[in-house]
């Protein structure tokens, strides 16, 4: 978790999987260990393999060979260093269409009013 000292909010990375109505347990990644080099020990072993076992036990597959892990190979998921990760995030940021950002800006007054109406409680967004 990282602490934002201005607001007191905390953030963390989390991983989960689903197969139809079957959901994996959530895996909360240790701070600073969300790069590809840590992914097997932090996600696959504690999260994915038990999830696959649950699918096999539920009769959804006979063995691991019948299950497919979809990995998009995005640079953000395969970065080996913090510099590679930052470069991938910057590249993704540059690819966001202006129309998408404009839609967010246009919707902001409605979003803010929803927060006011909810008296600061969480709202759908």
Q: What is the pLDDT along the chain (125 residues), one digit of tens a residue?
A: 444 445 566 677 778 887 777 888 888 888 877 666 777 788 888 888 899 899 889 888 887 777 766 666 766 567 677 777 778 778 887 888 888 888 888 998 998 899 899 888 888 86
Q: Is 10 left (phi over 0), alpha (psi -120 to 50) or beta?
A: beta
Does a structural domain hold residue 52? yes
Does a structural domain hold residue 117? no
Does a structural domain hold residue 88? no
Q: What is the pTM of this model?
A: 0.46
- Provide the domain count of the chain: 1
Domain of residue 37, residue span? 2-80
pLDDT value, residue 4: 43
Does a structural domain hold residue 90? no
CA dihedral 115, 119, 121, 122 (to 10 degrees): -10
Tokens 């060979």 — which residue? 65
Does a structural domain hold residue 106? no
Does a structural domain hold residue 108? no
């Amino acid at each position: 978790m990282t602490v934002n000292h201005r607001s007191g909010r905390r953030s963390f990375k989390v991983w989960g999987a689903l197969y139809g109505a079957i959901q994996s347990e959530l895996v909360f990644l240790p701070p600073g260990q969300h790069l590809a080099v840590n992914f097997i020990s932090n996600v696959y072993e504690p999260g994915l393999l038990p999830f696959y076992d649950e699918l096999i036990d539920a009769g959804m597959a006979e063995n691991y060979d019948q299950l497919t892990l979809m990995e998009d190979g995005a640079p953000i998921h395969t970065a080996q260093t913090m510099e590679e990760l930052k470069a991938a995030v910057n590249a993704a940021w540059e690819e966001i269409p202006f129309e998408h950002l404009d839609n967010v800006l246009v919707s902001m007054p409605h979003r803010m009013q929803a927060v006011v109406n909810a008296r600061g409680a969480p709202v759908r967004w």
